[in-house]
Structure 1
Amino acid sequence: MTTDANETKGAVLAVDLDGTLLQSDMLHETFWNAASHDWSAAIRAIRTLKSGKAALKRDLATRASVDVTTLPYNCEVLDYIAKWRDGGGVVVLVTATDQILADQIATHLGVFDAVYGSDGDRNLKGQIKAEFLVDRYGERGFAYVGDHAADLDVWAHAARAISVNASEALRAQVSALGIEVEHLGTAHIDRKPYIKALRPHQWLKNILVFVPLLLAHHLDVVSFVRALMAFVAFSLVASSVYVLNDLLDLNADRAHARKCKRPFAAGTVPIAHGTAMAGVLLGVGAVLSVALGPIFLFVMLSYYAMTTAYSFYFKRRAVIDVSVLSGLYTLRIIAGGVAVGVPLSMWLLAFSVFFFFALAAVKRQAELVDNINAGKVQAEGRGYRNEDAEVISQMALGTGYVSILVLALYMNSPDVALLYSNPPALWGICLILLFWISRIVLLTHRGEMHDDPIVFAVRDRISRLCGMMVVGFAVLGAVM
């Protein structure tokens, strides 16, 4: 509990933190931050919760390392605080967030005369907060800024109620208290950030489940429907993992020039909603996987286990991270083969491993180039240093060229004659891929690459043209 001599001067404005001054919730912030460093934090949190919510908050506050300088603060509330201070008033932060974090936030903002938070034994929320404020400032001796129904207990004893992004129902309840009322912001549900959090553009990667179907020329309706079910299942599970990854990466995302705009990092979607979304998406994806059979379910569970391990651990390990990403792409192809009952060629799997290793390396190269251009020393949350950029680009070129070599060897194998009537036409694919891989590595080196090469390829006109030419050569090889 931090106090200041200025607290005794002027009218007192008590400000809540979670959902009010901060467009987030520090309990959820610290939980996911602690989990990002140690996956067993979730188990410890359940145990600690038996001692009370205040004890849980204190435990997480000591384990987490949240960067309070990048948190999504509510500018409208900060402006209100500034005007209150300009008028000679006193501003105090009174929050259910643990005192350790409340002090850090107050120090960063520098606008509070006193700071009061939960202390490990007392959870400063609702009626307990109301009693604390009345005891310290007297009945009707303060104005209070809050956002939640739990704040009604506090507003009932305040001289003025200031609601933040309150629903119409909560506004009506506040107005019924018979005190002076102000409303900052309006409560509304914007679906766009929720959709953005799913990263639907990343579902393009799941088109890989159709590759075995197309390459084996199994174009019947039943096979297509099963492949489509596999695509939907992978998209749902992948979105679950993307949400989980964003929750674990809040610090790193907020420090990134583009990723700071992601819904959870920016505070446009509550972290609690993200936690629920991850579970629901995984559950629905699992149900679809069961419908496709036990082997497909096993592949899907393997995919989820690998992606979860990547989110918690592997993404911070140099080279291992791109190896895992390559494996995840290849698992999509394996899943597609399992879904439609098509035997997978070792040529296809070998090509996939090398080709997607190259793309994963390009993604890391892009991040390092962005770091260099931004003047940062090291990629946040990664196992690379800026000087690794050249090595990563060589890895991308090397494995990319090896994938083309695998494709060239396949074209001279007996297997190709079974599926293609004009195999020489397929050599055009090698030339196109040779050009495309060289080009994206070059563009990445110049700092012109989006941090995800798949997304870049979809948006880039030349890449789309290359894709159409690859399809054209494949058709020529099959029908001519």
Structure 2
Amino acid sequence: MPDLETAVDTPLVVDLDGTLLRSDLLVETAFRRLGRHPGSVFGMLGAWNAGKAPLKHYLCAGTDCAPDTLPYDKTILSMIRLAQLAGRSVYLASGSHEDLVKAVADHLGIFTGYFATTSTVNLSGRAKAERLVKEFGDKGFDYVGNAAADLPVWEHARQPIAIRTPHSVAARLRKMAPHAQFIEDRGATLRDWARQFRVHQYAKNALLFVPMIAAHALSFQNLFVTIVAAIAFCLAASACYILNDLVDLQEDRAHRTKRNRPLARGDIPLIHAMVAVPILLILASVLALSISSAFALVLLLYFAMTTAYSFYLKAILLVDVLTLAGLYTMRLLGGGVAVGVTLSSWLIVFALSIFVSLALMKRFVELTACADADRASPDNRDYENVDLGMIAALSAAAGFNAVTVLALYVSGHTVTQLYSNPEILLLACPIMTYWIGRALILAQRRQMQDDPVVFAIKDPMSRISGLAMLAVFVLAI
């Protein structure tokens, strides 16, 4: 850490976005606004056309700020406190809107003052440099920043200090100010990206193999095509997870487990995550088109549904769980289209029923967490804590409806065309009944994680139930 006790009379000026914050409030407010009001994109374009200052004013006017949940950099906070102990004045200088900067400054209560963007002046780059020189004089302040926009400010600072600076910017800073000091930061790791891509959720794409297996159409070619299709869905799903996390940053930070997501914690720069989205989608599209245009259309529909869910549908009562169930079913459809297998109406109805049950179970777990913490339900969901009983009942009804559909299918004539011992399939019904009932009871006991699918993958009894179901279907062949 730079030596801050050698210049007591020199104020320390700290940038906000990317420096004190491991995030960017402009990006956050933009996605938050879009997530709550998708139609505001037109207002954003109009404000952007008028300039960055009007855009930031427009975004700030339509969103709230929760400074107590923002990802502050501990190293920078320690630097500020050391400067204060040395008797130095410390100022916050940011290109973010003044209302947001004031909220942060008031929350932390460690700044002598602050400088920020107004409705007419975008305090970034040269404008920030001129403002600070006017206030403190040339070389009359130390400045901590992180980006290319800070180069004009570093040029007039007595001591330039940089953190999380891109290599190209760092090279320019070293050339301009050889005495510049750099604070080490670990940066995003492969593990961070794996968590952001939700690699553990890729297990859901095993559903693409179900149509091939259910139709007894297992062959090397079909297996290879399905693997490619599953990879395409994994890539598209990761892009969707990133978009969803960008929209839900504030809600995730207030959540007991989602607060540890890489974007919410500031482990991955928001800009990097935004760039990753089109890259993932391009790769997914190439793989999808290599299979067939029909499969590519299914993948496109999946992405469209997921995007609509992230930006709008998840805030509508029950429509959100129906959409989630539809997204799971889209994986089955994609698997069928990839290998040319038509899904039976039995499989579609069964899938929708069980996935509605799981989606409602997920909402139940989320609401119990709010109720137990004596918090109101999230404002991006159209549920209230008083709905807990009804949500549990609906989840149970949908789950046991899936069991009924399975029983009717096993009892019908169609099953005899695929299984030589179809009566054995009836054993799958009590296994499913056990798993659904047990999952609901554990959710009621607060022993389930947020996602029932992840719970099923990790839970030993769920694994045993799954293997038992598989054994039943193998024995019935």
Pairwise TM-score range, normalised by the shorter structure: over 0.9
Q: Write the distance in 2 (CA, Å) between the matches of 1:329 and 1:375.
A: 32
Q: Could you tell me which amino acid in structure 2 is paired with residue 238 of structure 1?
A: A
> What is the CA deviation profile of residues 444-477 of structure 1, one whole-angstrom value per residue up to 9, with x for unaligned ones?
0000001101111111111111111111111100
Q: Write the distance in 2 (CA, Å) between the matches of 1:175 and 1:336.
A: 54
1:223 maps to 222
2:425 maps to 426
Q: Write the distance in 1 (CA, Å) between the matches of 2:289 and 2:179.
A: 57
2:140 matched to 1:159? no
* Counterpart contact for 1:255–1:380, Cα < 8 Å: no
Q: Could you tell me which amino acid in structure 2 is paired with residue 193 of structure 1?
A: D
1:127 maps to 126
Q: Write the distance in 2 (CA, Å) between the matches of 1:84 and 1:47.
A: 42
Gaps of 5+ in 1: 1-8
The SS at the match of 1:105 is: helix
1:49 maps to 48
Counterpart mapping for 1:232-311 below 5 A: 232-311=231-310
2:86 maps to 87
2:138 matched to 1:113? no
2:19 maps to 20
Q: CA deviation at 1:167?
A: 5.2
> What is the CA deviation profile of residues 274-330 of structure 1, one whole-angstrom value per residue up to 9, with x for unaligned ones?
212122212222232223323223322222221111111221122111111111111
Q: CA deviation at 1:439?
A: 0.3
Q: Could you tell me which amino acid in structure 2 is paired with residue 197 of structure 1?
A: Q
> Which stretch shows the higher mean deviation, 242-251 or 219-228?
219-228
* Counterpart contact for 2:11–2:90, Cα < 8 Å: yes
What's the TM-score once normalised by structure 2's chain length? Answer: 0.94
2:322 matched to 1:323? yes
What's the TM-score once normalised by structure 1's chain length? Answer: 0.94
Q: Could you tell me which amino acid in structure 1 is paired with residue 402 of structure 2?
A: S
Q: Write the distance in 2 (CA, Å) between the matches of 1:152 and 1:297.
A: 45
Q: Write the distance in 2 (CA, Å) between the matches of 1:299 and 1:181.
A: 53
Number of aligned residue pairs: 470
Q: Write the distance in 1 (CA, Å) between the matches of 2:265 and 2:50.
A: 32
Q: Write the distance in 2 (CA, Å) between the matches of 1:87 and 1:171.
A: 28
Q: Write the distance in 1 (CA, Å) between the matches of 2:167 and 2:308.
A: 43
* Counterpart contact for 1:11–1:89, Cα < 8 Å: yes
1:465 maps to 464
* Counterpart contact for 1:85–1:91, Cα < 8 Å: yes
1:369 maps to 368
Q: Could you tell me which amino acid in structure 2 is paired with residue 129 of structure 1?
A: K
> Which stretch shows the higher mean deviation, 272-281 or 178-187?
178-187
The SS at the match of 2:22 is: coil
1:449 maps to 448
> Percent identity at matched positions?
38
* Counterpart contact for 2:187–2:268, Cα < 8 Å: no
Q: Write the distance in 2 (CA, Å) between the matches of 1:236 and 1:62.
A: 35
* Counterpart contact for 1:29–1:66, Cα < 8 Å: no
2:336 maps to 337
* Counterpart contact for 1:162–1:183, Cα < 8 Å: yes
* Counterpart contact for 1:212–1:336, Cα < 8 Å: yes
> What is the CA deviation profile of residues 254-279 of structure 1, one whole-angstrom value per residue up to 9, with x for unaligned ones?
10010011111111111111212122
The SS at the match of 1:156 is: helix
* Counterpart contact for 1:379–1:386, Cα < 8 Å: no
> What is the CA deviation profile of residues 40-83 of structure 1, one whole-angstrom value per residue up to 9, with x for unaligned ones?
23333233222222222222111222322211111111111111
Q: Write the distance in 1 (CA, Å) between the matches of 2:299 and 2:176.
A: 54
Q: Write the distance in 2 (CA, Å) between the matches of 1:366 and 1:396.
A: 12
1:5 maps to none
Q: Could you tell me which amino acid in structure 2 is paired with residue 421 of structure 1?
A: S
> Which stretch shows the higher mean deviation, 132-141 or 212-221?
132-141
The SS at the match of 1:50 is: helix
> What is the CA deviation profile of residues 28-47 of structure 1, one whole-angstrom value per residue up to 9, with x for unaligned ones?
11111111111123333233
> Which stretch shows the higher mean deviation, 164-173 or 25-34?
164-173
